[in-house]
A and B are shown apart, each in its own frame.
Chain A
Amino acid sequence: MNFDLSDEQKMLAEQARGLLAERSPPARLRQLIGEGAELDAPLWRELGEMGFLGAAIAEAHGGLGLTALDLAVISLELGRANACLPFFSSVVLAGGALSACGSAAQQAAWLPGIASGEKIGTFAYAEGPADWRAALPATTFAATSGNEGRITGTKSPVADGGVAGFAVVLVNAGGAQAFALVDLDQPEVSRTRLDSFDQLRGHHAISFAGAKAELLAGDADTLARLLDQAAVQAAFEAVGGAQACLTMAREYALDRQIFGRSLASYQAIKHRLADIAVAIELALSNAYYAGWAAQNAPDELPAAAAAARLTALAAFKNAARENIQVHGGIGYTFEANCHFYYRRERTLALSLGGREVWADRLIAHSA
């Protein structure tokens, strides 16, 4: 099997990389942090216009109808740029949930907006430190008529909860896990911004006091599949971040003179960079395979997604830390760009469940 990207995918990657490098350089990230922004709005609009946000959404709903691997190419470039965009929350998670288990009416109502960028969604699952994957959510859905009802409870932390207009909320509906679609712009919803470590991805606590909601058709199996698919995209995002760290570390080492020589000429530095590169290659192979499985071999997806996620996050963690180490003192400062990736790595590593959760899933699904 040949897991290299197709020519079209390579073009897509180049286009995304070029655009993001130009619009979302570190100076822009600093500006957004200074403003307390949670979204680079002009860039988001532009990505919508260029079709990036609708890449994996069906053509009937205003998307391009491409595959998981096409979407992954964009995830990787977003990870490299560390852009301040709710792509993962809105396109991957909320969009993924709607595509997987929304009714025709629900899809028609929300997917075109996600594709254009006019509507931003998020996925609200965590409820503080409890194990949200195993237990029934404390947030409840009480049916009023048909699939409509009202939800009560608090979700926290919710990524991109400040800029989202709607959320897919994991709820307890009559004793079973279910997804509720909730418009966040209603009086029964209140949001509090949390002070989060990743300054480029805002997190909120969102409380629902009998907020109007409607159920999607999903159940616990849908949730597992959605998380697997999201894990693949997050793996690509992590690989992109790791690649950015390696590039930064390499460039800095080549440039910096120490004891009369280039820092990059020291064996200890060369070996470090080689270790980062090896971990990235391994992660990328796993991620390609998982991206392929997401589209072509659903039975293999759980194990492939877990392996991709575990290796990608391990590669990103190592790269983000070693990048700071190679930079020395400057790497520890806000002026250097290392911390953007260090922070993002922590966000990715802890969302969708930590390492243990995915290691367990890998074991459970390995032959």
Chain B
Amino acid sequence: MIDTSARFAFTAEHEMFRDAVRKVFEKDLIPHLETFETEGICSRAFWKSCGDAGMLCPTIAPEYGGLGLDFGYNAVVAEELGYAGSSAGITLQSDITAEYIASYGSEEQKRKYLPGMVSGDIISAIAMTEPSTGSDLQGIKATARRDGDHYVINGSKTYITNGQNADVIIVVAKTNPEAAGKGISLILVDADTPGFARGRNLDKIGQHSADTSELFFQDVRVPVSNCLGTENQGFGYLMSQLPQERLSIAVTAQACAQRAFDEAVAFTRERKAFGQQISQCQNTKFSLADLKAQLQVGWAHLDWAITRHVKGELTTAEASAAKLWHTELQGRVCDAALQLHGGAGYMNEYMIARLWRDARVTRIFGGTSEIMKEVISRSI
């Protein structure tokens, strides 16, 4: 269990909420973790029980079915989900897609989607990445051509989280293919629109319970009223949502790292070699001490970042630094914790194996470590 006694980003209400989240996960997530992993997707029933418990999109205003809380509640869910060792895509909905609709959506769009996203009846995705471009978003090729009062969307997207489950997709497409960044718009596409097709649920190294998919758009017609915010302003919207998206990944990364550490502590206490518990070997003690020191720094920093973000002060550079640091930490901790497991660490039946393989992607998605450094360096 994550020890929150010394945390400073949260209030007593957050902690009550955390207890509730733990209970829901205990009942509706932990028993199904293996099934979700083998099936490559989380059940809609799980989404529904998260919605029923008020754990989806906690920041959404009550008029749209939400609780109108602060991002600290999102962080609580992200921490508990990461610590449970799940790669379910609920944080993407709570921290990213709902935020886009709430910030830039029309009244009609908000009424149509938000209540269902809060209740778990609607699952969403955001499709930026394409086979030929990821980091360089200005280079996307998908187009949304204006035809009367409709857009006609063509293109393909890949690595899209919640791709199989999604009922609605925020598609990043060029409404003005001549202009690089200034010709990009965000368009809502319902999954039952003709011309939209889901591709493979991709086979990945880890995060097996996340339905990361290919998506195809062939002459998909949607009314222009499906444009999120102003046409051609999409790139600016993407940039302004980045801090929260990156912080969200940082939060999960730190919690996963803590779980990996806790697994290593438990394992090395049990295991014996050369006539003693391996936790008594100096190398084990030093490895764990080193990780513990890094985790301590990590939690302090995370609380600082969450607190700043709740106050609306976290900058893009700071959020990028947080994503960079916490995901790199996660990589280091999971690797060292696996090493301390010896051969068992390589066996999928041990939790550490999953934590380790799931960790690898956090340095890549949501902007790679290299791109984080680019962004940070621009602030120097």
Question: Which residues from chain A sit less than 8 Å from chain B, CB to CB?
Answer: 266-268, 271
In the assembled complex, the CB of B15 is this many whole angstroms from the nearest CB of chain A, namely: 38
- Closest CB in chain B relative to A269 CB, distance in Å: 9
Q: Say if the beta carbon of B283 comes within 8 Å of chain A.
A: yes
- C-alpha gap A284/B298 in the complex (Å): 39
- Determine if B45 is an interface residue (Cβ-Cβ < 8 Å): no
Q: Which residues of B contact A271 (CB under 8 A)?
A: 283
Contact flags B119-162 to A (C-beta < 8 A → 1, else 0): 00000000000000000000000000000000000000000000
Overall SS of chain B's interface: helix
For the complex formed, measure the closest distance between the CB of A233 and the CB atoms of chain B, giving whole angstroms: 36
Name the residue among A266, A268, A271 with the largest chain B CB count within 10 angstroms: A268
- Return B287 CB to nearest CB of chain A, in Å: 10
- Residues of A contacting B: mostly: helix
Q: For B286, list chain A residues within 8 Å (CB).
A: 268
Tell me the smallest distance from the CB of B286 to a CB of chain A, in Å.
5
Q: Which chain B residues have a beta carbon within 8 Å of chain A's beta carbons?
A: 281-283, 286
**Which residue of chain B has its CB nearest to the CB of A266?**
B282
Q: Shortest 8 CB-CB distances between A and B: which pairs?
A: A267-B282, A267-B283, A268-B282, A268-B286, A266-B282, A267-B281, A271-B283, A268-B283
In the complex, what distance in Å separates the CA atom of A271 from the CA atom of B283?
Answer: 8
A-B contact pairs, 8 of them (CB 8 A): A266-B282, A267-B281, A267-B282, A267-B283, A268-B282, A268-B283, A268-B286, A271-B283
Chain B residues closer than 8 Å to A268, beta-carbon distance:
282-283, 286
Q: How far is the CA of A173 from the CA of B359 in the complex (A)?
A: 57
Contacts of A267 in B (CB 8 A): 281-283
Q: Within 8 Å CB of B282, what residues of A?
A: 266-268
C-alpha gap A268/B282 in the complex (Å): 6
Compute how far the CA of A268 lies from the CA of B283 in the bound complex, rounded to whole angstroms: 6
Question: Which residues of chain B are near A266, meaning CB under 8 Å?
Answer: 282
Report the Cα distance A267→B281, complex, angstroms.
Answer: 8
Complex CA distance for A1 and B343, rounded to whole angstroms:
36
Closest A residue by C-beta to B283: A267
Complex alpha-carbon distance, A267 and B286, angstroms? 10
Contacts of B281 in A (CB 8 A): 267
Q: Report Cα–Cα, A6/B286, bound state, in Å.
A: 43
Which residue on A lies nearest to B284, using beta carbons?
A: A267
In the bound complex, CA of A266 to CA of B286 (Å): 11
In the bound complex, how far is the Cα of B136 from the Cα of A295, in angstroms?
47
Docked CA distance A271–B286 (Å)? 12
In this complex, the member of A266, A267, A271 whose beta carbon has the largest number of chain B beta carbons within 10 angstroms is A267
**CA distance in complex: A174, B176 (Å):** 54
Of all chain B residues, the one with the shortest Cβ separation from A267 is B282
Q: How far is the CB of A94 from chain B (nearest CB, A)?
A: 41
A residues within 8 A CB of B283? 267-268, 271
Q: What's the nearest-Cβ distance from chain B to residue A253, in Å?
A: 14
Q: Tell me, rounded to whole Å, the shortest Cβ–Cβ distance linking A43 to chain B.
A: 43
Given A267-B281, A267-B283: 6 more A-B contacts, CB < 8 Å: A266-B282, A267-B282, A268-B282, A268-B283, A268-B286, A271-B283
